[in-house]
A and B are shown apart, each in its own frame.
Chain A
Amino acid sequence: MTGLDEHLPILQILVPLFGAILTAFTRSGVLAWTIAAIASAIAPFISAGLLMRITETGKPISYVMGSWAAPWGIEYRVDLLNAFVLLLISLIGLVSIPYARKSVATEIDSHKQPWFYTMYLLCLSGLLGIVITGDAFNAFVFLEISSLATYTLIGLGRHRRALLSAYQYLIMGTIGATFYIVGVGLLYLVTGTLNFVDLAARIGPAMQEYPRPILAALAFMTVGISLKLALFPLHVWLPNAYAYAPSFATAFLAGTATKAAIYLLIRIYFSVFAVAIPFRQLPVTEIVLVLSLAAMFIASFAAIFEQNAKRMLAYSSVAQIGYITLGIALANKMGLAGSLVHVFNHAIMKTALFFALGAMAYRTGVLSLPSLSGIGRKMPVTTAAFVVAGLGLIGVPGTAGFISKWYLALGAIEHGWTWLVFLIVLSSLLAVIYVGRFVEIAYFREPSADLAGVREPPPTMLLPLLALAFTTVYLGFDTRLTGGIATRIAEFLLGGFTS
């Protein structure tokens, strides 16, 4: 087994990639699903294996592609940060796949189902690739693999607006990726390397000679990645994309796609540019802070007034991403740890919420809030799980969301900005309103006649949902996996930097 052990980093990508090739040749949805399920089930074990090896040895794992030594060849370099995000993405894949079977079977035409799973697996391997690679250009390629698969997944939604949303996302996503690659190009021009570690070593000296291209590169990369992670006001593609995509695609993407982009931003800021350039030479803290606060408040308000349940949650995602970028902007130990904790927690909670909505759509076929009146009496378990995850969004103690907020607030205090603590908690009050609105609709209105025969979803959908709802609560108490690892990551990313 030692041989296989060596190759864990590349297997992380290859398993879903080969799965994608296999599914492309199948004609049956069930067979394609089985292949996807096997690939999704293997991926988390590889991530967990990588994470365990790193925590044991304390050293990053380097894997050299085709024996071309870095910096000439492509290096896969897994440290605690990658391993953490890899585990998250592959875990979301794992819980999603049992859910997919029934949901996809009802929402996608049967002859398209094998393709749907092909796209899902391509998306999964692309996202894992972004996170695992140690090469700036390779990251772009994986970014585009996952994005192209995502456009297709979204376009397969049943409503014709899904096509329009996919097209708009394609335009904006491509612009974002191109901005990123322009930034990479500028860095390559002044340093002659694409390897993240090598870049980090050379940017410092190059800064003496070519400060302007380097800062321009940073700006290009920031804008490009911000488009992919939906930082306000570059989020406009997200609400429609999430609202019209098939239920399963929304749930999977909400938990993974933006998270991989956030990983890339953290990697660029804290590893490649080594913290000092973005946070000393450029006013990144101020800019990202303002945009994050705008996201937290404006997107939450949009969620409050939204009539479509999926779009309500999509706006909520934009707001929650605001929390994550807020922690990045603070650029101190607790703030950055808070960001990473929230990356994990938000992925769990939001996937749970979209699972619940998907289950409701599976049974009722509708997702406008008024038509879900009284759903709490017809689908009590599903609705209860939705409420638990919703409490997590609010940040009620005893749920994962509380832990995120605690870290972020400590980060704000560490920065000397006590006022920011009040803004952080104030915006969670807006979540009370939109979650509360759903609760009132679900429990206080009589079920309409359309919901007459509605009952709980099949166990394959219900169990993943319950598992995530339980995890939301579990992560509110046991924070070794989230808070503990995130703090260690923040410590090594920041090195000796103090903001």
Chain B
Amino acid sequence: MIAAQPETLVQLAILIPLAAAALIPLFHRAPNLRETVTLVSAAALALIVWSLYGPVMAGARPELNGPEMVPGIRVALKVEPLGLVYALVASTLWIVNSIYSIGYMRGHDEPRQTSFYVCFAIAIASALAIAFAGNLVTLFLAYEVLTISTYPLVTHKASDEARRSGRKYLLLLIGTSMVLLLPAIIITAAVAGTADFTTGGILAGKLSPLLMTGLLALYVFGIGKAAVMPVHFWLPAAMVAPTPVSALLHAVAVVKAGVFSILKVVVYIFGIDTLTNSGAVDKLIWIPAATILIASLIAMTKDNLKARLAYSTVSQLSYIVTGALLATSLGVIGSGMHIAMHAVGKITLFFCAGAIYVAAHKTEVSELTGLGRAMPITFAAFTIGTLSIIGLPPFGGTWSKWYLALGAIEADKLAVVAILMISSLLNIAYLLPIPFRAFFGRPPASAGAAAAHGHKHGHGHAHGDGKIHEAPTACLIAISATALGCIALFVYPDFLLDLLKQIPLR
């Protein structure tokens, strides 16, 4: 670990990905050097963020203050335990994802790879700025930069479908954040006289219960990245992006930025006690709770693998929002854990989906029958990811569901516990059949031939023998790493748990 002033580390955490974004175009004509820049900065970034773990556990809260943007509010960064969890997840998975991207993008001969890596690095920088934001305005700034920097990634294919999805993505995310979140922030700043994230919240006693509920609703729907129904449509639309984008951004960085923001607002702007006392959470918690169930049901109907995973993500995100709205200490811990656990599990699943696409050009669940024999590593990893998402031991997802359920009991909301249980059953119903079918189904006779001809992009040459092979090695390394991560997080959850217990709630 690096021994440096924590403030310097925070600065570096934002600057390194930005520097990468500036450097990458210089190596436009030397792809190997270009990818080296990405990998080195990803590794450096992870190292730096992990170096913050020790100081933060020891009680340090490094701060950085920039210029005053709007009256009384500066651009400010402040590291606190919750943000560090998100930063750890995003920065660590960026390494794995970069390795995977190289395999995927090259294996797939994607065009415009330079701009892809540039936008990716900017997205990571803004994700870290969200993680370390010291007040609502800084958070909002980074939130919007994240949306805009991922727009070119979503529309990477530049097809008509990509353009349409891009529209949906931009209009829903910018729309909700501009029309609901921004007024919420302005009202908060006007009412509280500050927008700093403060222990115990800044709104205690300043709003009537009704207005408190309204304001919380503005945040819950305004933070569209959390994909609470009905503002979830952008997420399935974003699946048109190349798989590494779906994997890191739409399973980890972007969506977790959303739920993380809600969690942060609940803990540091409202304060869990204020929320509980006002009764706001009792009314609103049923919206994410319903989202959990409805999204699971929709996921069951989707045959497209990435669409099914997308709806699964919508459902899982609402676990975190529900946990936040429980407004209890265990609920917050459960939510924080689920940010990490779901991230590792879901990125595995997306990696696998991408690997299947690169190697076999299959996108539909029904086409996967029997594929497990040709791609054993991929589907083994898929199984691990699935089980972690469902929440079965010995995989990481177990812990977060456990704490969420405890939080629900602590809040005396047994209905939420029931919803969590039902949802786990639904998870089994829509995820587990996929590896099951791949391993135990009988492949149709024409599977190999279809793979060689059945796609539009002209990559059939790699499969001239009609047989399907495993994905490129870079992809397999990434897949194995995250799958093992699911197991490791079950065995060693303490470092996360200790960090989350540091969150000052009152």
Chain A residues closer than 8 Å to B70, beta-carbon distance: 403, 406-407, 410, 479, 483
Asked if A436 meets B167 with Cβ closer than 8 Å, knowing A396-B148, A406-B70, A421-B187, the reply is yes
Question: A429 and B179: CB pair below 8 A?
Answer: yes
Interface residue? B137 (CB, 8 A): yes
Question: B179 and A426: CB pair below 8 A?
Answer: yes
Partner of B186, one of A410, A444, A487: A410
Residues in B153-199 with C-beta less than 8 Å from chain A: 155, 158, 162-163, 166-167, 170-171, 174-175, 178-179, 182-183, 186-187, 189-190
Mostly, the B contact residues are helix
Interface residue? B67 (CB, 8 A): yes
- Complex CA gap A391/B186 in Å reads 20
- Complex CA gap A25/B75 in Å reads 53
Question: B170 and A477: CB pair below 8 A?
Answer: no
Residues in A471-493 with C-beta less than 8 Å from chain B: 476-480, 483, 487
Pick 22 A–B contacts, CB within 8 A, sort by A: A334-B71, A394-B178, A397-B140, A397-B145, A398-B144, A398-B145, A406-B186, A407-B71, A410-B70, A418-B187, A421-B183, A425-B183, A426-B179, A429-B171, A429-B178, A436-B167, A444-B158, A444-B163, A477-B75, A479-B68, A480-B68, A483-B70
Question: B155 and A444: CB pair below 8 A?
Answer: yes
**Contact mask for chain B residues 104-122; partner A; CB cutoff 8 A; 1 contact, 0 none:** 0000000000000000000
- Complex CA gap A41/B124 in Å reads 42
Interface residues on A, range: 35 or more
Chain A residues closer than 8 Å to B187, beta-carbon distance: 413, 418, 421
Chain A residues closer than 8 Å to B175, beta-carbon distance: 429, 432
Residues in A222-242 with C-beta less than 8 Å from chain B: none
Asked if A410 meets B71 with Cβ closer than 8 Å, knowing A422-B179, A444-B158, the reply is yes
Not counting A414-B190, A418-B183, A418-B187, a sample of 17 additional A-B residue pairs whose C-beta atoms are within 8 angstroms of each other reads A398-B145, A403-B70, A409-B186, A410-B71, A410-B186, A421-B183, A425-B179, A425-B183, A429-B175, A432-B171, A436-B167, A436-B170, A443-B158, A444-B158, A478-B67, A479-B69, A483-B71
- Which partner residue on chain B sits nearest A424 by CB separation? B183
Question: A476 and B186: CB pair below 8 A?
Answer: no
Interface residue? A440 (CB, 8 A): yes
Question: B179 and A403: CB pair below 8 A?
Answer: no
Residues in A355-398 with C-beta less than 8 Å from chain B: 391, 394-398
Question: A432 and B75: CB pair below 8 A?
Answer: no
**Chain B: residues with CB nearer than 8 A to chain A?**
66-71, 75, 137, 140-141, 144-145, 148, 155, 158, 162-163, 166-167, 170-171, 174-175, 178-179, 182-183, 186-187, 189-190
Chain B residues closer than 8 Å to A426, beta-carbon distance: 179
Chain B residues closer than 8 Å to A432, beta-carbon distance: 170-171, 174-175, 178
Chain B residues closer than 8 Å to A483, beta-carbon distance: 70-71
Chain A residues closer than 8 Å to B144, beta-carbon distance: 396-398
Question: B148 and A391: CB pair below 8 A?
Answer: yes
- Complex CA gap A370/B162 in Å reads 19
Give the shortest distance, in Å, between B488 (CB) and chain A (any CB).
Answer: 38
- Which partner residue on chain A sits nearest B162 by CB separation? A444
Chain B residues closer than 8 Å to A428, beta-carbon distance: 178
